Amino acid sequence: MFSQIGGARLLTLSAFLLPSTLAAGAWNSSSSVVPGRYLVEFEDSTDATSHIFFSSLSENAIAATPVVTLDYSLFKGASFDLGDVGNEKAHVQKILSLPSVKSIQPVRAYSLSETSGYTVNQGSVLPPAPGPNSLTSTPDTFSPHVMTGVDKLHDEGHFGTGIKVAIVDTGIDYTHPALGGCFGEGCKIGFGKDLVGNDFTGANTPVPGDDPMDCSGHGTHVAGILAADSVAPQFTGVAPNVTVGIYRVFGCSGITTTDVLVQAFMEAYEAGAQVITASLGDASGWSEEPSAVALSRIVEAGVPCTIAAGNDGDIGVFYAEAPATGHGITAVASVDNIVTPVLFKNASWSTENDTTPVPFTWVPFAPANIPNGTYLLHDIVNGSADTFIICNENFTITDDLTGKVALVPLDSGCTSGAGILDMVVAAGTKYVLWYSSRVGTIQSINATTWNTGIESIGMVTDDLGEEWLKMIAAGDPVSVHMITPKYLDYYVVNTPNADSGGYVSHFSSWGPTFEVDVRPQVAAPGGSILSTYPLDLGAYYIDTGTSMATPFVAGAMALILEARGKLDPATIKSILSATATPKLYNDGQSTYSYLAPVAQQGAGLVNVYDAVNAVGVLNISSISFNDTAHFTNYAAFEIQNTGNETVTYTIDYVSTGSVYTLPASGDPMPSEGGDGVALDITTASSATLTLTSDTVTIEAGKSASIGVSATLPNLTASRIPVYGGYVTLNGTNNEYLTLPYMGVASNLYDAVIFDTADNLTYVSRYFSFDAVPSGYAFTLPPQNSTDEEKELYDFPVPVSTDAFGTRVLRLDLAPAYSNSTVNTTEVLGEKIVGSVSAFPAIAQPRGQWHAFWYGDLSDGTFAPPGDYVFLFRALKVFGNESAAEDYETVWSNPFSIIYNTTTTAS
C-alpha cells in the first residue's frame, strides 16, 4: 500500500530502533531517527552555552559525546550522542530536568526532495563565464522564466543585484563557469561553509570544513536554478546577480540530520542572508520539529525561507513535509515545465555506399568518454525484428565487437541493463549507443551503478536507430564519426510537454498539515528543469522535483526585494500568493475542467512579474477554516492600495475540486494517486462563501477590510474531505488577485490512525513478516549480544500501518495476563512494564512502520521473561497528550519471551 511508486518513500521507524549494523539499509526511509542522538534547546531565561551544558552532563556522570554546538542568537542548544550507555531514557529524563534545558528531542534524518533526472557525460570542457553585459544583451527565452514572468523582469534589468541568498544543500561546485568560477568575497558564490565533510552519512559525526565543494550534484543544480549565467547551453538563473551562500549539510552520499540543519539555518541567518532556501524534507505533517521551529524563528526575525513541499504526491493528502510545516515558511510545490528539454551532443554518420557525413545528435550518459574517431555500428540482435530477444536468458553475443560501437535496444518490457552491457564488454567493445523503446523520444538512463567496464554510453531516438538498423540489414554498414563529448558544447532540444506542461506535477506532495495549516503555499517550475551540475559529473543536468521549484521561489523573492525594497516575509509571501495563477487539475496525463485543490497547489504558479508590480497587497497569504470541531466560519483580510491612484476591486470566489482522504469503500487507508492516476476528487459540493462586500474602492495609500464567512460543503464527513478555493479580486487597474482558502469537512479527532480494519497493526517476526499467532514463544538474544549475534534470532517485530498522523506514538509493553507478577507502572490508565526502546515517538506522519525488539525498554532495562502484549497508542489529532481517552489504542496478540543464555541462537 505504501510501496516505492513514483519516488515515494516507504515509511518506517525501523532506522532508529535497529543497531547500527542492521540499520544500514533503513536510511532511505522517511521519519528516521538517529539512534542515541538527541538535540536539546536551552531555556531562554538562562545564560547557558553548549560548553556549560556539556560540563553539567559530565558533573552528572552522563557520558554524552558532543556532536553539534548551537550557540546562536535565535537558537541556543546542542546535540549529543549517548551511544550504548544504557538507561537511555533515564539519562534523557535527567538531562530534561537540568535547569538550563527547555526541551530534548531525538535527532531526525532528512533526505533531498528530488525525483529523477539523468547523468550526462563526465569532465566537460566548458566555455568561460559570460561577459559583464551578457544579461542585458541577451533576451531571456528560458521556458521556466517565460512561464512565470521572470523573463519580463530580466528584460527590465532586474537580476537580484545586491541580495544575499543562502542555500542549504549538498554544496556547490563553485568552479563551474556558469556559477562564477570561484568561492569567497567578490565571487558569485560568496559565503558559506561545509558543516559535515565528504564522509558524513547522517549516522556518524560531522567533520566541518571551510570548503563547501559539491560531490553529489544536487546543490549545484539548485544553485544554477537560482543564479546561473550559462553560455552553452544558454540560460540564466532566476536571479543571476545575487550573492549566493552555501551551507553544505550532506556528505557525498547519505542523509542529513536535524541538528546539522538547525546549525546551517542559523549560520545562514547570522551571515546576513536575506533569503534562505532548502530543498529537503522529512514526512511529518507537524510544525514542532526543531528544524521547522528554527526556520520559523528566522522568518519571525525578518528573513523569508523557502522549503520544498516534497515529492510524495502519489501518497495523497495530509503528507506535508517538515521543515516546510513550520509557521511562516513558504512551502513550494512543483509545476511541470511547458517543454521537456534534452541535452544532446553532435556527431555524424555515413554508410559504406554513401560516405557523405549526416549530422545527428545523441544524449551522453555517465560515463561518456569515447575517443575521437570513426566506429562501425554493430546491431547486437543481428537484424531480429524481436528486440525483446535480449530479455531471453539464453541470449548471447557471439560476434567480435572490437573497435565497434554496439547498437543496443532499450526495451522497457524487460530488465536489459547491466547483463547486456557485460556481454558487450566481453565481446570486445567499451562503447554503446542505446536506441529508445519509445518512438521519437529519449529515455532516461543511468549506467554509473553498473560497473561493467563501459567507457562510453549514450542514446539516440528510436527512429534514428531503426534507420541505421535497416541499412545494416541491407548490407550497407553504418559508421559513426564521434568527438569526445567533453570537447563539444551542449545542444538543447525542447519538446513541448502536451501532457502536463504548465500544470502541477503529479509527484508534488499534498497538504494540509494535520493542524490544517495551508501547505503548500505556492508552486514554481520543478518538472524537467535544466541547470548546472558539478564539472566532473557532467556540468549540466536535467532534474525533476520540488527541489527544483524551491530555489526558483527563493530567486523570485530576491527579485521582489531588489525591485520593491525591504519587505517582511509575510508580505513577500502574500504578494507571491495573491499574484500566483491557480491551475486546472492535471493527473500527469489529462487536464480536468476544475481547479486543482489548494492542498496540492497552494495559490498556484507564481507570476513574479505581477508580484513585483502588484498594487494591491493583502495582509495574509491564505485562510484556513480548520476542521468541523475547530471550524472558523469567519475570517477577515485587508487589502492595501500601494499605488498612486484609486482602485475599485470586484470581489467574488471560485471553488476548487474537493479531495477525499479516504476511499469510498470504507477502507480507513487514505486514497492514493500515482503516475497518471487521479486522486478521489469531487466537484459535487463545495463550501459556500459569504463576503461582506462584493466591491470595494480604495484610495491610494489606503486599505480596506473584507470579511469572509463559510458554510461547509455537503460531503461525506467520514471520508475526510478537504475543500478549498480562492477569493478573487478584480481591479479597475487590470489587476487580478486571489486569496486561497482551505478547510476539512470532518472532525479530525475522529480520524482513524491504526488500520485495524485490515489487521495492519500486529506483532510479526524477524524471519517472517506475517502476524504471529496468540501465545507465540520468542527466544531473544542474550542481553549482552553483539549486533551480528542478534541477527541470528527470530525476535518480535511490532508492525503498524498508520492511516493518519499522530503527534505522540506510544509502543508500550504490558503483561498479557492479570495474574502476572512483573512490576508495572500505570501510564495513561494502563499498567505497563515500560515503553519499547526509542518510544514514544513524536510528530509522526501516516504510513507503515515497524520496529525490531530485543527486549530492551526505553529506561535502559530489559523486560523479564514472561507473557506480554504490545500496547499501540496514538494521540488523536488535537488531542491532549495527558488524557488517556484521547489516544487510539490497539492491543497485540499475547506472546512470550525468554532470553538465550549463550551467544548462539537456538
> Active-site residue numbers?
169, 218, 547
Of the chain, the end-to-end C-alpha distance in Å amounts to 35
Q: Comparing C-alpha atoms, which of 261, 201, 212 is closest to residue 72?
A: 261
Are 473 and 467 in contact, with CB atoms under 8 Å apart? no
Q: Is the CB of residue 43 less than 8 Å from the CB of residue 25?
A: no
d(CA 473, CA 117): 34
CA atoms within 13 A on the CB side of 174: 25
DSSP 11: B
89: phi then psi, degrees, rounded to nearest 5: -65, -40
Please report the sign of the dihedral spanned by the C-alpha atoms of residue 71, residue 108, residue 506, residue 342. positive
Q: CA 10, 679, 325, 729: dihedral to nearest 10 degrees?
A: 160
Check: CB of residue 26 under 8 Å from CB of residue 32.
yes
* Cβ(416)–Cβ(388) below 8 Å: no
Cα 572-290-215 angle, rounded to 5 deg: 80
- The kind and range of the H/E element at 573 are helix 569-579
Neighbours of 79 (CB within 10 A): 27
Nearest of 537, 511, 531 to residue 523 by alpha carbon: 511
DSSP labels for 491-560? EEEEEE-TTTTTSB-TTSPP---TT------EEEEEESEEEE--GGGTSEEEEESHHHHHHHHHHHHHHH
- DSSP assignment of 202-271: SSS----BS----SSSHHHHHHHHHH-EETTTTEE-SSTTSEEEEEE---SSS-EEHHHHHHHHHHHHHT
Three cell numbers, residue 210: 571551510
Residue 299 phi/psi, 5° resolution? -60, -45
How far apart, in whole angstroms, are the C-alpha atoms of residue 546 and residue 549? 5
Q: What is the DSSP letter of 328?
A: T
Looking at the DSSP bridge assignments, the partners of residue 831 are 826
Contact between 81 and 851 under an 8 Å Cβ cutoff? The reply is no
Strands 761-765 and 623-624: unpaired
